Structure 1
Amino acid sequence: MAVPSRLLLCSAVVAVALLVAPGEVAAAAGHGHTHTRRLRPKKSAAAAAAKLYPANATRAEAIERQFTRWVRFVGGRLGHGTYNYNRPALTLLPARTLVVDRRPGAGDFTSIQAAVDSLPLINLARVVIRVNAGTYTEKVNISPMRAFVTVEGAGADKTVVQWGDTADTAGSWGRPMGTFGSATFAVNSMFFVAKNITFKNTAPVPRPGALGKQGVALRISADNAAFVGCNFLGAQDTLYDHLGRHYYRDCYIEGSVDFIFGNALSLYEGCHVHAIARNYGALTAQNRQSLLEDTGFSFVKCRVTGSGALYLGRAWGTFSRVVFAYTYMDNIIIPRGWYNWGDPTREMTVFYGQYKCTGPGANYAGRVQWSRELTDEEAKPFISLDFIDGFQWLRL
């Protein structure tokens, strides 16, 4: 039985209001921990939510923080996983499906953004947005409190959402929108899932040294997101893996410079990473800034191919952390493997590792001395779903 959207919104507002207790507007920020799973204390939902906002947060931010706590309660206590192929995830309200088709009358909406905008501002039930085959030339943004959204295409080669903004594109007030705002598809809400769809930024490969040409295909800025069978196509800064814990399986990611970047905690499993660099390029630019931050990228059973001469990663963050395990690397990999971003002091703080990789580009003999070839024990925390706490929130 369908539940009217007005009732959903009212229920959500009541739930949020009940959670905002007097004197609770300014919550203390939580502390991060090093990535040692068996030694790391569990983060409380309150600490994780409070970390996003300072103690002097505005009332609107505080309400959003409390809503995030409530969503985590739904996910953690009631077993609401991101997706579940074997059994339906438990939700407070029933799931529903919306159909997007470019042809008027063939679906519920003719654009993905219109389907997103039809959801309650505070969404509490799993909603599947099924996008039929076609190329959708539009810019999509999912707001922070529209949680539990699944976007499912008809196949990554059949369903494409594309746009062409870059960092120097004029945004509001005529100012450049920056890398953050250039995303074709921006996700700011928790428990997001994408399956069998292509996210594309159509901006061309920039010439070497060009400024302001970063063009993001997808930006994910929220926790507990999964991408299965998706393509991410762009040139510079293709996939902005910004914040949160994320899982990518059987995805194709294409770009030239720093085309997987950000400060998320992400596991890439069985993915194909393809460089289209004309000269030099870099696969990752991970932005971990502190020893206390539990973030990093792990590539397991992936393939790295393409053109140009490619660094495995550049140390965007002082404590940048990236691991490649059981991964095939073509001969495009620069023997040194890693670049310190022009700051030799970062060589003492980054964590760059390989474990049982294969292919002509995987030879560890030429790697920089400040990277490492991992032992079985060192690799263990990086090569399973434990890396992203996946057994807690990801149902396969």
Structure 2
Amino acid sequence: MVTSNKSNELVMVEKAYVNWVKMHASSKQPVFKKAKNKLKPCLNIKVSKKPRLGDFATLQKAINAVPAINLCRVVIFIGAGTYREKVEIPNTKAYMSLIGAGADKTIVEWDDTADRTGQSGRKLGTFASATFAVNSPYFIAKNITFKNNAPSPPSGALGKQAVALRISADKAAFIGCKFVGAQDTLYDHLGRHYFKDCYIEGSVDFIFGNGLSYYKDCHLHAISNSYGALTAQKRDSFLQETGFSFVNCKITGSGALYLGRAWGTFSRVVFSYTYMDKIITSRGWYNWGDKNREILTAIVFVFAYAAGAAGAVDGAERGRGLDKGMMHGFKQGSLVSGDHHKKASL
């Protein structure tokens, strides 16, 4: 059974999370459906590598045991250990919380790549290469490492996308988690997402997709031996309310790193109060070979007053210009309003 302290903590996290969601409740994308969150856990499940200490020995079996069209908060506690399995949460199993024993202790890993042949006899593609895939809303993960063990591909290699985690649902939160891979580590696919105190490692486009996501106090680490890219945001329309916002983060690593590549014609990524190591290219961003995206995109706005931007992009911003009013709005989280999360006791 979950302890009262842990129950109270989950409720506090959930309430702060719901407040953040309400701050951006005007989203018009079809994926954003109205639903009432469930705050109080009604079912607790334990997963452990030691059979006597858990209800299940694998994470997927624990997820499979949750009733379809789940209507209450289910908390799955995952004991220490490396769980080598490919995991997927279907869209019929909402309100799931996964709590690890610590990001360095609870690890979920696999090694699929986009060019690997799946059970259907076809190539998996980037979407299906994920070690861990979430398709249900109101998901929470805390203190877990999600890892794709596929080796880092040489420059220019094709079909080597290797996703550690894909989130394709609305209203998800990740606290104290690690996402480890090389090319395409974190597929921030669709929906509103909150990342707090997370570590994200990769080489090329290692945070990518068309989510509306807020990254707070995260560590972004590049492992490229040549040129790499941190983000590839896929906002394809000026009317789409999507984009990535990074606040109080730090960027470290190796190689020469673009802060972003304009995967979408109207890509939007914002960095504020972010430390940048001496690996950021002076150009800052790449137009994906399409000069039109230099006019239409707002791929990267970098606030030059970010603390310790030793090797940061030249100038106050890259992409289209920001006046002081717009800059203030992005700093305060107008792109993805997450201030209410500061109240969460994590």
Larger-Rg structure: 1
Tell me the residue number matched to 2:268.
321
After superposition, the Cα gap between the structure-2 partners of 1:124 and 1:388, relative to the gap in structure 1 and judged at 3 Å, is farther
Tell me the residue number matched to 1:286.
233
Question: Aligned partners of 1:384 and 1:98: how far apart in 2?
Answer: 38
Which residue of 47, 54, 66 maps to 1:100? Answer: 47
Question: Aligned partners of 2:228 and 2:339: how far apart in 1?
Answer: 34
Gaps of 5+ in 1: 2-36, 53-67, 81-88
Given that 2:78 and 2:101 are in contact with CA atoms closer than 8 Å, whether structure 1 keeps it comes out as: yes
Give the SS at the match of 1:248: strand
Which residue of 24, 32, 36 maps to 1:74? Answer: 36
Could you say which structure has the higher helix fraction?
1
Tell me the residue number matched to 2:176.
229
Give the SS at the match of 1:74: coil
Given that 2:302 and 2:316 are in contact with CA atoms closer than 8 Å, whether structure 1 keeps it comes out as: no
Aligned-pair distance for 1:389? 4.9
- TM-score, normalised with respect to structure 1: 0.76
Question: Aligned partners of 2:158 and 2:141: how far apart in 1?
Answer: 31
Question: Aligned partners of 1:280 and 1:42: how far apart in 2?
Answer: 38
- TM-score, normalised with respect to structure 2: 0.87
Question: Aligned partners of 1:201 and 1:151: how far apart in 2?
Answer: 18
After superposition, the Cα gap between the structure-2 partners of 1:363 and 1:209, relative to the gap in structure 1 and judged at 3 Å, is closer
Give the SS at the match of 2:251: strand
Q: Does 1:42 align with 2:31?
A: no
Aligned-pair distance for 1:390? 4.7
Tell me the residue number matched to 1:114.
61
Which amino acid in the other structure matches residue 357 of structure 1? A
Listed one character per residue, the Cα deviations across residues 72-100 of structure 1 (whole Å, up to 9, x for unaligned) are 3323xxxx4xxxxxxxx2x6xx5221110
Tell me the residue number matched to 1:84.
none
Which amino acid in the other structure matches residue 306 of structure 2? C
Tell me the residue number matched to 1:377.
325
Which amino acid in the other structure matches residue 334 of structure 1? T
Which residue of 271, 274, 299 maps to 2:221? Answer: 274
Give the SS at the match of 1:169: coil
Given that 2:258 and 2:281 are in contact with CA atoms closer than 8 Å, whether structure 1 keeps it comes out as: yes
Given that 1:335 and 1:367 are in contact with CA atoms closer than 8 Å, whether structure 2 keeps it comes out as: no
Which residue of 306, 325, 332 maps to 1:357? Answer: 306
Which residue of 100, 103, 107 maps to 1:153? Answer: 100
Aligned-pair distance for 1:393? 9.8
Give the SS at the match of 1:157: coil
Listed as ranges, the matches of 1:1-396 within 5 Å are: 42-43=26-27, 48=29, 51-52=30-31, 69=33, 72-75=34-37, 80=38, 89=39, 95-351=42-298, 352-355=300-303, 356-358=305-307, 359-365=309-315, 370-372=319-321, 374-384=322-332, 387-390=335-338, 396=344
After superposition, the Cα gap between the structure-2 partners of 1:391 and 1:282, relative to the gap in structure 1 and judged at 3 Å, is closer
Q: What's the RMSD between the two structures over aligned residues?
A: 2.4
Listed one character per residue, the Cα deviations across residues 190-235 of structure 1 (whole Å, up to 9, x for unaligned) are 0000000000000010001000000000000000000000000000
Given that 2:205 and 2:228 are in contact with CA atoms closer than 8 Å, whether structure 1 keeps it comes out as: yes
Given that 2:247 and 2:271 are in contact with CA atoms closer than 8 Å, whether structure 1 keeps it comes out as: yes
Listed one character per residue, the Cα deviations across residues 246-278 of structure 1 (whole Å, up to 9, x for unaligned) are 000000000000000000000000000000001
Task: State the percentage of identical aligned residues.
Answer: 56
Tell me the residue number matched to 1:9.
none
Question: Aligned partners of 2:226 and 2:26: how far apart in 1?
Answer: 44
Given that 2:214 and 2:338 are in contact with CA atoms closer than 8 Å, whether structure 1 keeps it comes out as: no
Question: Aligned partners of 2:202 and 2:338: how far apart in 1?
Answer: 27
